[in-house]
Structure 1
Amino acid sequence: MDMIVGGPGAFIGGVYRIAACLDGEIELVCGAFSSDARQSLEMGAKLGLSADRIYGSYKEMIEHEHETGEMDFVVIVTPNHVHYEPAILALLAGFDVILDKPMCHSLEQARHLSRTVDETGRTLCLTHAYTGYPMVKQPRQMILRFDIGLVRKVYVEYQQGWLSHDNVNSKQTQWRLDPKQSGPSGCLGDIGVHAFNLAEYVTGLQITHVCTDLRSVIDGRQLDDDVSVLLRFNNGASGVLMASQICAGEENSLKIRVYGDEGSIAMHNARIPAGHPESYIEAFANIYRNFARTVRAKKNDEECSSNELGDFSGVKEGVRGMTFIETCVANSRKDNEKWTALKE
């Protein structure tokens, strides 16, 4: 694999490198770890890569690695506004892609990226880490077996407190609150989309309509830091999604409750930074392993019924995530319309 960004000061890049290598099926062979060529070279050297496989830009890397044919897939861990272009370039160059969420800066970009995946026949994995947890996969299977009967009600929430004050000033904060880099939403696109993805993954249902209250609690912020969404699902169930980054004292508190007509399931992931569950890296490792085995099976034209193949979020979930974000943003701006349908 190659990595785009994930260099000095980037938390998630280190997590991804550990997760990718945990099962011994993936090797980091090259990278463009920073937009600063010197910093990229220094980071690559620390990781033990040869100088001729360390690049100053992702464009240079994709072009050169396409010529050599020595790389299989690209991992993109950039801010949201730098997801789309390197993903498109990598797909068109014949590489598979692992991409951080939300998939793109806009729904229009997400739809074009989806078409490119279809046209190239490549595989794209979207890193919704929480779907990698065994204790997330367990209730999903229970619900699909109708162990709790027909789903009637879903509550999902993701609360953080790191943006509770207006004096938070860091590189991670700045791009997340900048519409030019983050996209049309702040909190919703950063963590609310995780809750959305988890609700659909665990229940096996799709959200069809939303009624949204999108707020910027801290004065002066251009993007939301607090979100409440009423949900309607395609089986008639209803639900509530809450996401906030101004809940002082919370770290990464992700919880879901699902109620059926014969029982219920409740679970939470709460505690890499503080608040993430103990199996955080292993959850990513499950996603990377499943991605690697899927890519290998496609490459070798293998027929395999393993449950691991394709068991990760992909371009379809990416488009749905961007649809959810933009529909919620649009709905929150309407005074006279309660419900807005999700249209892909």
Structure 2
Amino acid sequence: MFKRLTYGMVGGSKDSQIGIVHRKAINLHGKAELVCGSFSRNFKNTLATGKELKIDEKRLYKNYEEMAEEEAKRPDKIDFVSIVTPNSSHYEVAKKFLESGINVMCEKPLTITLKEAEELKQLARKNNLLFAVAYTFTGYSMLRYARELIKRGEIGEVRFINGRYLSEWMAKVPFAGKNSRHEWRSDPKVSGVSNCVADIGVHVESVVSFLTGLKIKSLNARMDKFVEPDRLDDNASILINYDNGAEGIYWTSQIAMGHENTLDIGIYGTKGSIEWSQEHANYLKISKVNHPFITLSRGSESVDDFIKTDYVTPGGHQEGYVEAFARVYDKFISAITKKKKGELLEQRDLDFPTVEDGVEGMRFIEKCVESTKRGASWVEF
């Protein structure tokens, strides 16, 4: 058997939210082991986290620069790094590890500017390294099956797309300074040019792109600042024109009371439609002209076997966020493993969100900001 991979993590101390999720997702398939980290700017926190995770203290580092440089020297250097820090540090951290010859998985958004994202793409390509971006929802089984149905023409040519990602956390309390874990998200010095669109709007963009393969031609965005007018957006309404003539509308919000984490996608074509909701992730609603709609479950015999081979649990059980995230990591880790064996990667091996997807996410964010600044005018993508 081929030895399992090793990885390190930047960010994600024991008090972190998303870092813990990344580790659980990787552990689900057991194909990679966490062996080093710089989990916090506070080295005491890094040491405490490392101790809890049973990592050799010699591979706990004071900062990401030291980690990248020291790991690059080792004969058993890590196979990839997982970057789970706030937005503003993604570029510098990813750049350092790419320059050190180490594959990268990075939280979204990829960077805080399109220029930085493009630079990382070129650097990964130059150094022949794999680079994944944590667009988790593309890992859900039924979204992956929906993609196949759309590819086959089951709903005809796509005419209209409706996507929304709604949450309520910024509306619940007076926000600024009240929640140290999330307060940075609306701080432009840390989050970049956007909060809501960069945090959850990019998930809508990535899922739609994943499902349909359509490219945005132009968009019209209105980004709102209801909670903190002097900070970053907490709500956005975005009209989309696609390259095939289809149209769409995205609503993304962090002030939608009554919604904890609602991601709904509807793809409407000339012959039918497909609808999916993350809160009911096991099901697709499929409608076709002159036929009653059906709700297809993950356990259905109609779902292709090649989709089911990726199941962690049998189809009759509810698939969750960590399982979807684990599938993204599994595809990424499998590609690194194949490449490490000296085998040629095919396009099907890169079935995870790549740095190119991260670049398009940054383009989406910047175009939304540009449109908003121009009075919600249409801008070319």
Whether TM-score is above 0.5 comes out as: yes
Runs (5+) with no aligned partner, structure 2: 1-6, 281-317
Find 1:292's aligned residue among 333, 354, 368.
333
Counterpart secondary structure, 1:211: strand
Q: Is 98-107 or 171-180 further displaced after alignment? A: 171-180
CA contact (8 A) 1:257 1:267 kept: yes
Deviation at 1:268, TM superposition (A): 0.4
Alignment of 1:238-249 (within 5 A): 238-249=247-258
1:15 equivalent to 2:54? Answer no
What residue is the counterpart of 1:130 in the other structure? 137
Shift in CA distance, 35/27, structure 1 to aligned 2, threshold 3 Å: same
What residue is the counterpart of 1:161 in the other structure? 168
Larger radius of gyration: 2
What residue is the counterpart of 1:226 in the other structure? 235
What residue is the counterpart of 2:380 in the other structure? 341
Counterpart secondary structure, 2:182: helix
Give, in whole Å, the separation in 1 of the partners of 2:340 and 2:234. 43
Give, in whole Å, the separation in 1 of the partners of 2:126 and 2:373. 36
1:323 equivalent to 2:363? Answer yes
Deviations 1:233-284 (A, max 9, x none): 111100001100001121110000001100100110028xxxxx85111111
Counterpart secondary structure, 2:267: strand
Amino acid at match of 1:302: E
1:47 equivalent to 2:87? Answer no
Give, in whole Å, the separation in 1 of the partners of 2:31 and 2:244. 39
Find 2:93's aligned residue among 86, 89, 92.
86
Give, in whole Å, the separation in 2 of the partners of 1:327 and 1:320. 10
**RMSD value over aligned CA atoms?**
1.5
Alignment of 1:1-344 (within 5 A): 1-70=7-76, 71-165=78-172, 167-168=174-175, 169-270=178-279, 278-303=319-344, 307=348, 309-335=349-375, 338-342=377-381
Deviation at 1:230, TM superposition (A): 0.3
Give, in whole Å, the separation in 2 of the partners of 1:313 and 1:219. 32
Deviations 1:156-215 (A, max 9, x none): 000000001451321232210000100101100000011111111111211121001111
CA contact (8 A) 1:227 1:244 kept: yes
CA contact (8 A) 1:38 1:56 kept: no
Q: How many residue pairs end up in the alignment?
A: 335
Give, in whole Å, the separation in 2 of the partners of 1:54 and 1:117. 25
Amino acid at match of 1:189: A
Give, in whole Å, the separation in 2 of the partners of 1:165 and 1:293. 41
Runs (5+) with no aligned partner, structure 1: 272-276
CA contact (8 A) 1:166 1:218 kept: no
Give, in whole Å, the separation in 2 of the partners of 1:60 and 1:130. 33
Shift in CA distance, 98/22, structure 1 to aligned 2, threshold 3 Å: same
CA contact (8 A) 2:14 2:20 kept: no
CA contact (8 A) 1:148 1:261 kept: yes
Shift in CA distance, 325/121, structure 1 to aligned 2, threshold 3 Å: same
Deviations 1:287-343 (A, max 9, x none): 111111111112222146584x111111111110000100110111113x731111x
CA contact (8 A) 1:165 1:218 kept: no
Deviation at 1:221, TM superposition (A): 4.1
Give, in whole Å, the separation in 2 of the partners of 1:338 and 1:84. 30
Give, in whole Å, the separation in 2 of the partners of 1:228 and 1:214. 7
Give, in whole Å, the separation in 2 of the partners of 1:140 and 1:221. 40
Give, in whole Å, the separation in 2 of the partners of 1:132 and 1:340. 31
Deviations 1:10-40 (A, max 9, x none): 1111111111121121111111111101110
Deviations 1:17-68 (A, max 9, x none): 1111211211111111111011100100100111101112111111111111
Amino acid at match of 1:341: E
Deviations 1:126-176 (A, max 9, x none): 010000000110111100111110000000000000001451321232210
- The sequence identity of aligned pairs, in percent, is 37
Give, in whole Å, the separation in 2 of the partners of 1:154 and 1:2. 38
Q: TM-score, normalised by structure 2?
A: 0.85
Give, in whole Å, the separation in 2 of the partners of 1:330 and 1:246. 22
Shift in CA distance, 34/248, structure 1 to aligned 2, threshold 3 Å: same
CA contact (8 A) 1:158 1:255 kept: yes
Give, in whole Å, the separation in 2 of the partners of 1:174 and 1:285. 28
Runs of 4+ aligned structure 1 residues displaced above 6 Å come to: none
Shift in CA distance, 45/73, structure 1 to aligned 2, threshold 3 Å: same
Give, in whole Å, the separation in 2 of the partners of 1:57 and 1:219. 33
Shift in CA distance, 133/302, structure 1 to aligned 2, threshold 3 Å: same
What residue is the counterpart of 1:274 in the other structure? none
